[in-house]
Structure 1
Amino acid sequence: MEQITNYIKPELLAVSVVLYIIGAALKQAQTVPDKYIPLIIAGIGIALCAAWVLATSPVRTVPEIAMAVFTAVVQGVLVAGLSTYVNQIIKQAGKKE
């Protein structure tokens, strides 16, 4: 887990918690098939990270825009992956062998 968190900006670690809660709510509601939940979580993660990047970075030139898009996508995928990883750790820890 430390390897993943080394690449996520510290300000965005809270987004993983939010995504975990959203994923758990989607699972509990049973309105979305389980196979789509990670994709939904990734999309929401990218959108939330994009909002953070736009709020904290200058985006006036083409290179700045490209960097903002790249950062939003990479950070969004990483925080979504972290929330899914935590979910799996909790599931596996609860299993009895």
Structure 2
Amino acid sequence: MDILKFVPEQLAILIAALYVLGMFLKNTPKVPDWTIPWILLVVGILGSIGLVGFSPTAIIQGIICAGATVLTNQLIKQTTNGINESK
């Protein structure tokens, strides 16, 4: 199943923006790591509503964008850790 088919093209930039925001939050000492996905979720929903208008679909698309962002981050992080551990 291709989850990105549920995200309109204009929201693809939201995934990139959430990723960058997540990286900034990760490097901010006063932001606990456990709060970062929650912050990205709220910003993703608000960003989606701002881009496509308020609707239940926009809320779901915001959730998908935040989920795709966190998944992408974890794939990169876990793959890098796995490669480094296997050396």
TM superposition score category, shorter chain reference: 0.7 to 0.9
Matching residue's letter, 1:33 = P
1:16 to partner: Cα distance: 0.4
- Out of 72, 77, 82, the position equivalent to 2:68 is 82
Q: SS where residue 29 of structure 1 aligns?
A: coil
Superposed, 1:25-36 pairs within 5 Å as 25-36=24-35
Whichever of the two has the greater Rg, that structure is 1
Q: TM-score scaled to structure 1, two decimals?
A: 0.79
Query: Is the 2:10–2:51 contact (alpha carbons within 8 Å) kept by the matching residues of 1?
Result: no
Consecutive unaligned residues of structure 2, counting only runs of 5 or more, are none
Runs of 4+ in 1 over 2 A off after TM superposition: none
* TM-score for the superposition, normalised by structure 2: 0.87
Q: Which amino acid aligns with 1:87?
A: N
Percent identical? 33
Count of paired positions: 83
1:23 matched to 2:22? The reply is yes
The 5-angstrom pairing of residues 18-97 of structure 1 reads: 18-54=17-53, 68-95=54-81, 96-97=85-86
Structure number with greater CO (CA < 8 Å, separation at least 6) is: 1
